[in-house]
Amino acid sequence: MTDQLTAPSAERPGAAAPPSWWRDAVIYQIYPRSFADSDGDGIGDLPGIRGRLPYLRDLGVNAVWLSPFYASPQADAGYDVADYRTVDPMFGTLADARGLIGDAHDLGLRVIVDLVPNHSSDQHEWFRRALAEGPGSPMRARYHFRPGRGAGGELPPNDWPSIFGGPAWTRTTDPDGTPGDWYLHLFAPQQPDFNWDHPAVADEFRTILRFWLDLGVDGFRIDVAHGLVKAQGLPDLGATTEWHLLDVGVSPCFDRDGVHDIYRSWRRILDEYPGERIAVAEAWAPTLDRVANYVRPDELHQAFNFSYLGTAWEVAAQRRVIDESLEAMRRVGAPATWTLSNHDVVRHTTRLLQADEGDVAGRKPAEVDPVAGLRRARAATLLLLALPGSAYLYQGEELGLPEVVDLPPEVRQDPAFHRATGQDGYRDGCRVPIPWSGEQAPYGFGPAGGPSWLPQPESWARLSVAAQQGDPASTLELYRAALALRRADAALGAADNLRWCEAPEGLLVFERGSALRCTVNMTDRPIRIPRPGEALLTSGPVGLSEAEVEIPADTTVWWSV
């Protein structure tokens, strides 16, 4: 069974299997609650995803990464896991997960699932027992329980803030009703941090990895991969500034060297399985060299490139981050990865036009001119898909969906929004359900007339899959065309063969392989250059003559040269 599930049909014996499929893979992130709702409860689910897999095959991606669908009270949209081996009934059953993996493989798509090892839900059996059994319970040693400071223990054990606002500690009540110890949660209070110094925690996660590998998954996305190990003694941070989602540097709780032993042990497990099972780290580290540590040859396979995601739309800055990314990954033999959007950041259709586009982490997004935003996003995507390595796309970006900036507070579910009294935690705006078809909400996301867990804007009727399909000017067809060209040209993927070319100011120009040149106008005015060759694909209309081309503002062109 394992063999059948792990070898996508295009690569079954008989067809020559390309080595290291992941080195140039385009991986599409599915946020299950917002992708497709099969049962009309307003929340997407696994059968909904299963029904839409042919769409993803036709889009031309190589793999999907699914955000968590495990049993969870949903305090942080599933990143609070109560049982790592079951599917939440809201999303379906384990049989649905098995069926989804099988269907995906039959369509030639790999499946990566999210693993959340930094913390569990407060409804996880271990944590419930830790609370119920009181101080001294062996279960408490699997988390970080500490007495408080101050005469009556009324102050948190140290000064660490939660990423979601407020202190990273919550005080417990002892079984006899008196105030007790505190426990650590770098995120919401419903997400207690595991103590990774405890052998039972490490054992448990090795078993969880095997459980999903046996079920046939092709890999894992490791949530908060930089957070598992804390400094001995949990020393004060001494910082007075507020933390925001994951944008912290070296600290007593992030990017500690000890995390790498964990990933070495996981790599040994992944390597036991056939078919190149992989892991990708969500590791926020202060430098690209620190990020590269996670993808040394005996550790994980890929790490998200948040430096790239946070870089301004400007030639010098882009060139620098691309060079630094390629160089850092080359040193450890890992492919670079590129991504512009995910479920935690402002959608790039909106973000790249914001004055502070480097500020990606859940702060309040501003409304931008939708036409200009989409033009720049399309140009950015064609640039991204021309870079060497692996690309991560986030559901809905292929439709050019903008960030929804005007969700009313009462529908918002990001826990940070509520903890920070509305000052932060704007991640719901990129999580609004996908419009598939029709003139009215929920636009085919679920059954007609049904709800969707977040309201979709009226303007999304014209952004639906059905509205864009077959329209060569649509963003959906642009993505399809780019992915088809990428698949057809091996030089566009893995090979680390980017060459910068001389170019007038404001134009980013590089070549890949022997025949592809990418020109990106990053200014707000047209730039005229000698025509480099035959235009293969453009992110917007360009003015072509025999000898020259005028590339409009915020436009990318792929040329065959």
Which residues form the interface with ligand GLC (CB under 6 A)?
Answer: 76, 79, 116, 187, 223-224, 246, 282, 343-344
Classified as helix, coil or strand, 429 is helix
Please state the three-class secondary structure of 79-142 as a single string: CCCCEEEEECCCCCCHHHHHHHHHHHHHCCCEEEEEECCCECCCCCHHHHHHHHHCCCCHHHHH
Nearer of residues 33 and 517 to ligand GLC, judged by Cβ: 33
Query: What number of residues does the chain have?
Result: 561
Q: Two tokens at 351?
A: 């973000």
Single out the residue of 197, 266, 260, 267 nearest to residue 226, CA to CA: 260
Classified as helix, coil or strand, 516 is strand
Q: Two tokens at 185?
A: 């949660």
Indicate the DSSP class of residue 413: -
Classified as helix, coil or strand, 72 is coil
Give yes or no for a contact between 339 and 305, defined as CB atoms under 8 angstroms apart. Answer: yes
Nearer of residues 50 and 221 to ligand GLC, judged by Cβ: 221
Report in angstroms how near the CB of residue 99 gets to ligand GLC at its nearest: 26
Nearer of residues 76 and 181 to ligand GLC, judged by Cβ: 76
Report in angstroms how near the CB of residue 419 gets to ligand GLC at its nearest: 12
Nearer of residues 432 and 542 to ligand GLC, judged by Cβ: 432
Report in angstroms how near the CB of residue 34 gets to ligand GLC at its nearest: 13
Give yes or no for a contact between 436 and 465, defined as CB atoms under 8 angstroms apart. Answer: yes
User: In Å, how far are 47, 134, 220, 521 from 129, measured between CA atoms?
Assistant: 33, 8, 28, 58
CA–CA gap between residue 361 and residue 180 (Å, rounded): 34
Largest Cα span, the chain: 85
H/E element holding 392? strand 390-394
For residue 393, the cross-strand partners are 28
Terminal-residue alpha carbon distance, the chain? 46
Report in angstroms how near the CB of residue 165 gets to ligand GLC at its nearest: 12
Report the residue closest to ligand GLC, judged by CB.
Answer: 79
Nearer of residues 429 and 444 to ligand GLC, judged by Cβ: 429
Q: How many CB atoms lie within 10 A of CB 353?
A: 22
Report in angstroms how near the CB of residue 431 gets to ligand GLC at its nearest: 9
With the C-alpha atoms ordered 220, 223, 225, 230, is the resulting torsion angle positive or negative?
negative
Which residue do the tokens 């209309």 mark? Answer: 541
Nearer of residues 79 and 313 to ligand GLC, judged by Cβ: 79
Nearer of residues 21 and 84 to ligand GLC, judged by Cβ: 84
CA–CA gap between residue 293 and residue 334 (Å, rounded): 10
Nearer of residues 384 and 416 to ligand GLC, judged by Cβ: 416
Active-site choice (272, 298, 367, 496): 272
Rounded to the nearest 10 degrees, the angle between the axes of helix 259-272 and helix 199-215 is 30
Report in angstroms how near the CB of residue 361 gets to ligand GLC at its nearest: 9
Burial class (CB in 10 A: 0-12, 13-18, 19+), 439: exposed
Active-site choice (96, 223, 255, 554): 223
Single out the residue of 522, 221, 228 nearest to residue 379, CA to CA: 522
Give yes or no for a contact between 390 and 24, defined as CB atoms under 8 angstroms apart. Answer: yes
Report in angstroms how near the CB of residue 277 gets to ligand GLC at its nearest: 21
Nearer of residues 343 and 412 to ligand GLC, judged by Cβ: 343
Report in angstroms how near the CB of residue 227 gets to ligand GLC at its nearest: 8
Is residue 289 part of the annotated active site? The answer reads: no
CA–CA gap between residue 59 and residue 352 (Å, rounded): 24
Which residue do the tokens 């098995």 mark? Answer: 98
Nearer of residues 37 and 282 to ligand GLC, judged by Cβ: 282
Give yes or no for a contact between 38 and 48, defined as CB atoms under 8 angstroms apart. Answer: yes
Report in angstroms how near the CB of residue 188 gets to ligand GLC at its nearest: 8
Q: How many CB atoms lie within 10 A of CB 363?
A: 18
Give yes or no for a contact between 210 and 115, defined as CB atoms under 8 angstroms apart. Answer: no
With the C-alpha atoms ordered 37, 39, 43, 49, is the resulting torsion angle positive or negative?
negative
Is residue 546 part of the annotated active site? The answer reads: no
Report in angstroms how near the CB of residue 415 gets to ligand GLC at its nearest: 8
Nearer of residues 76 and 428 to ligand GLC, judged by Cβ: 76
Report in angstroms how near the CB of residue 224 gets to ligand GLC at its nearest: 5
Main-chain phi, psi angles of 8, to 5 degrees: -50, 145
Active site residues: 223, 272
